[in-house]
Structures are given as structure tokens and as C-alpha cells.
A and B are shown apart, each in its own frame.
Chain A
């Protein structure tokens, strides 16, 4: 089975958020593999372990994205595909999906996986649009993928603690929900091997897709406080004593 996993490099979860001079995004920071994409990669690696085949990781973005692709290779992906694109932030979800779809199409995979959403933009759309552009059936919020004779049976998360199974033919695209598997770490051997694995580069220009956005992120701002939060200063002992006092006499909850 040939599996393509679309992954994204996102700002580290704990990185400080500083709005840049354009006021359209944040300053450069530390980056990491988008966590839902890590679950998509894990599902792909487990499918390969059971059924054989190849796992190809693909990512769009500037030079620094190469590090995230190497990380995925170190975890066990077989090869990488880097769409060099310095204006990713100016493209909308359709524009990014067009890049991915154009790069994935010649690979002709049996299965495409990606995380259900990114931790930075949180759109949760790219996978679904890639399926639409490639004319593939899809399912979202998938916790488990099982290969069948003719296609796949997947476990899909519904709202409020409900689930369902969905059957689909091959090829198909799934967006993976976190928590379906335990994530693996890269081994030292894996990191060493990753250095010799192939990462092919293609530029956004070479893919020649429409880059003009129909939806524009005009400005980013720090959120205003919804409530007037009373911050309780001091040592742990002072702050918690103040909290108990407040809960007792102000909120009357103790």
C-alpha cells in the first residue's frame, strides 16, 4: 500500500506569540510537527507495518520545513516531498490544497492521510479540499483505519462521545483525530537513517497552481479578555489562601 501523509510545520505549542510588523502573522519562532499530523503519520506507519508498502511524507513551506520532514523520516517514513513555498501564509486553504493535490497526484497513492487540523490556523479544511480536488472519497476525524479487500473501514469520531464506522473504496483520504494511537519517538538509528533518505524538492512555481486567494487574513490581534480576571499574586501559599477566601466569600462556592 502506498500512503502519502501530508504534514505541517507549526509554531511550538509553548512558543511566545509576538505579532510581526505586518500585523498579519507572528514573528519567527521555534517550530514543531503539527500534533494531529503526528497521529496521521503514526497511523500510516502502523498500516505499513501490517500490510507493507511505502509511506511518503509531504509538506509545503519554506526551507525550515525540511527539518520537520526529516523528523518524520526518522520516525519511519520512507521518503519526503518538500513543496518549497515562501508565501504559504498568503494562500488560502484552497490555494494550499491545490499545491498538495498537484504534488500528490503523480504519486497515485492508495491512501492519503493528514491531521484533522493544524495547531496554528486551525482550519481543518486542507485534507477535505485535497480529496475534493483529486476526486477521492474522504472521511474526517478518523481514529483508526483498517484495510479491507476492496477499500477501508474506518472509525470516525462523532460529537458527544459517539462514534461510527464508515466503509470507503480505495483510494481515499482521511483526516486523523488525535488519540487513536500512541505516538512513537524517533530512535537514534531512525535519525541516522533519515539522513540518507530521499527528500525531493519541488517549487510552488513548478506546480503552477492558482495562488490567488478568495479569503484573506487581513490582520491578527491579541484576544481581548472576555472576563475581568482577578489575578492572585504572591507565593503559592499567599495566592491559594486568597483564592480560598474569594471562593468562600465572593463566589460563595465552598
Chain B
């Protein structure tokens, strides 16, 4: 077995941001293990995302194509990737930790007698005679776990959104992507794609500026690979899939409900979590939002309970936001919430639990009873604005 295989995900024909991040994680791992990196794109027509990736310094890019791979089904993807991995025999298979990957990768790994190490936030160098150590979060972010793969088959990994920096990717030529954004500061590294869709261009920057990044989970290191002189070769792999092997029939995606707020472009957000205890207390937080000129948002449990509509939900299952000010009230900061807001410029957390993970990503924190702190804050904000 040899090499690292990164399975890229595309959105409407463009490589998704987290797809690039998975590639960056693959390159980081490659540097530690001294292995070549290949990438695979899966679907019916993969020419354009494959071409995007081929601009980077990789051993090869494989288009895994079959009419039964679009639309996505777990059965189709497991069959196709099982055959590809049997043929390529990679030592490591790296995925972006998306809903789609969560749907099929655990079963794919099990088919090899392996277990996916999912949602990793960091890769540490291999100790002597041992494989690399992968960090993933436990207990909703209250604990970090150091995992190691001890099986004899391929090691399956998926990387958390925002944990690895696509900006450090090694290119084949110097600037394959035009960068319309203004000179990217370290903030841009953190910022999650506000459109939420595909079409993220990794920016190629010198080491100094990429390393200066604040926060993030773990900064990645630059791959030592020397940029190739020509783009990577692209090949096509056609798996054998029988229509009878696809047992599920997926329908067209649809939007839930009407959209009346635009959290993604809000400059200030006051977000409320379980700590608010009761629907009757929501107006208190609304009053704070109004005083600050902010939009009101919430963590998942609040929307699950129907206290606020789902369109106001921030997190992996809701919106990804990056306002100038994010004020979290009574939110403990589960991973699913943090991935939706950690790109915010300034985070303020108010929580009764001093050990709440939200304080890990906060710039300012107040430990206390929100029913005392919020009214005091409303008064202070009003006084300051007078």
C-alpha cells in the first residue's frame, strides 16, 4: 500500500471549500509520512472539478465516473470507492467531514474492516515506530481525544470544516486561480464561505502570512513538495455498478420554509442557547439584539424546541456566519455550533459555566447568570449610545 488518496467533494461542478481543506490535510499528512498524494472526484461529470484540482501538485487526479453516481446515494458511492481503493491501495484515505461523507464513509471503512477517524481537527507528527496522531473533539468540544489507527488496512479520515487551511496548498504553477478578494489578511483564512456553496478559490500566499492566522483549530504546515512544472495528470476510473445495487431513491433537494432574515451578511449577531431556559425569556435577548442593532440568532436546541424559526439557526445544520460581533448568550458551544460562527471577528460569550467550550473561542467572556448579566448589558449599551 502506498500514498494518500483525498476524496474531493464538489458543489455544482466546483470544488467546495472543505474539499480544498481536505486536500491541504492530505498534503500535510503526506509531508509527515513522505507519501505521494492523489485526489479523486466522484460523480457523473467530474471534468471541471478534476481540472481545478489538477492545477495543484499531486501524484494524480482520478475522475470516478458512472451514471449511477449522480444523484448521490450511499450505495453507489460505497461501491465505487470500494473498487477504487482496492485498485489504488492507498495507505490513507482523506475525506472532508460533510453530511454526505458522514452518510457513506463509515460503511465504506467498515467494508475494509476499518473505522473512519471522523471530524479531525489536527494531525500530529508520527512518533517513532507509530503512526500519526489525529485529534478529534469529544463531549461536544469539552475534551480533545488523541486517536491512532492500529489496523492493518487503509486508514480512513475526515477533516472538520475550517480546521485545515486551503491557502497552503502547493500549486503546479504559481497562480492557477485569480483572486478577486482584496489582499487577504489572516482573517480571510478563518472566514467561512458566506455563500455557503462551492466556488472557493484557495489563495496562494507566502508562509509568513498564512502562519500569522489567529485562532483556527490547528495551523497547518506548508507541504515541502516542490511544485511540479506541469499540471497533474487526470485519469478516469469507471466502477462497475448494477442499478439493482442502488437501494435508495433520493429526491430533489428543497428549501425548508421561507427566508426572511439574512444572517450570513449580518454585521452583528446576538445568539441565544439552552441557557435561556424557556420560550418566554426570548424577548429579553431580543431586547439586547435591538439595543445593539443586531440580528437575533440561536443554537440548534432553541430551534428544535420551536422557540425561534430554523432560519435563525447558526451551526453546521444551520447558517454559517461571520459577523463583526457575535454575542453568545447561554450557549455552551458544542462543536456543531462553533463551526457555524468561529469565523466571527469578535466573539463575546455570556455563560454560567466557566468551563463552557464557547469561552475557548471568545474574545471577551462573562461568567454569570444571564438573567442578571443581560439586563445589565442592555442598560450599559443604552447608556453608552446615549
Contact = CB atoms under 8 A, between A and B. Distances in A.
Nearest to A92: B115
A11 B152 CA distance: 32
A164 B254 contact: yes
Given A244-B380, A251-B346, A158 B253 contact: yes
Contact of B151 (A128, A129, A215): A215
A227 B358 CA distance: 11
B148 interface: yes
Interface in A92-133: 92-94, 97, 119-125, 128-129, 131-133
A64 interface: no
Contacts, number: 260
B285 interface: no
A247 interface: yes
B361 A227 contact: yes
A132 B148 CA distance: 23
Interface residues of B, number: 103
Interface in A143-164: 156-164
A38 to B, nearest CB: 11
A158 B143 contact: no
Contact of B310 (A26, A92, A161, A225): A161
A220 B144 CA distance: 6
Contact of B363 (A11, A131, A157, A229): A229
A163 B103 contact: no
Contacts of B253: 158, 162-164
Give chain A's interface secondary structure class: mixed
Nearest to B113: A214
Give chain B's interface secondary structure class: mixed
A21 interface: no
A128 B107 contact: yes
Contact of B254 (A162, A177, A215): A162
Nearest to A143: B256
B236 to A, nearest CB: 27
Interface of A: 11, 13-14, 16-17, 19, 26, 92-94, 97, 119-125, 128-129, 131-133, 137-141, 156-169, 177-179, 182, 213-223, 225-227, 229-232, 236-237, 239-241, 243-244, 246-248, 251, 253-254
Closest 6 CB pairs of A and B: A214-B151, A179-B304, A125-B106, A132-B107, A137-B247, A165-B251
Given A177-B317, A215-B147, 6 more contacts: A17-B355, A125-B116, A162-B253, A163-B256, A167-B248, A254-B292
Interface of B: 74-75, 98-99, 102-104, 106-107, 109-111, 113-119, 133, 136-153, 196-197, 214-217, 247-256, 259, 268, 292, 300-301, 303-306, 310-311, 316-320, 324-325, 332, 335, 346-349, 353, 355, 357, 359-369, 372-373, 375-377, 379-381, 383-385
